[in-house]
Amino acid sequence: MLLFEATHSHPAAQCPLLKPEGKTMIKQLFSEANVKKVGIKIDAAYMSCPKDTGADHKGFFTMEAENSAVITKFFGPMTVEVRPVQPLSEVAKTL
């Protein structure tokens, strides 16, 4: 498995957490059963919503997967930027 950082953003006014069906979708998407079925591991996940009232909400997800396509598929219709990453401690060893 490789390590990736996935970043998602959406306009604050269109936040899924503002509607019951959006809350249900998020709960289902990130459920333990769905994550396991997809074959990814979520190491960390941080969201700026719903507390952030700025123009855009951001989500940051550190995930392990076989490739970036698995993560993109996991997020479905949501726009997400996926980048391979590695721990800073590993990068520091090469300096």
pLDDT at 55 over 90: no
Whether residue 54 is predicted with pLDDT greater than 80 in this model: the reply is no
Q: What is the pLDDT of residue 61?
A: 98
Spans of all domains in the chain: 2-92
In this predicted structure, what is the pLDDT of residue 50? 72
- Rounded to an integer, what is the distance from CA 28 to the centroid of its chain? 14
Three-class DSSP category at 84: strand
Higher pLDDT, 79 or 42: 42
pLDDT digits 0-9 by tens, 59-80 = 999 999 999 999 999 999 889 9
Q: Read off the pLDDT band of 13 (50, 70, 90).
A: confident
Fold type of domain 2-92: Alpha-Beta Plaits (3.30.70)
- Prediction pTM value: 0.88
Backbone angles phi, psi at 28, to 5 degrees: -70, -45
Tokens of 67: 């490739």
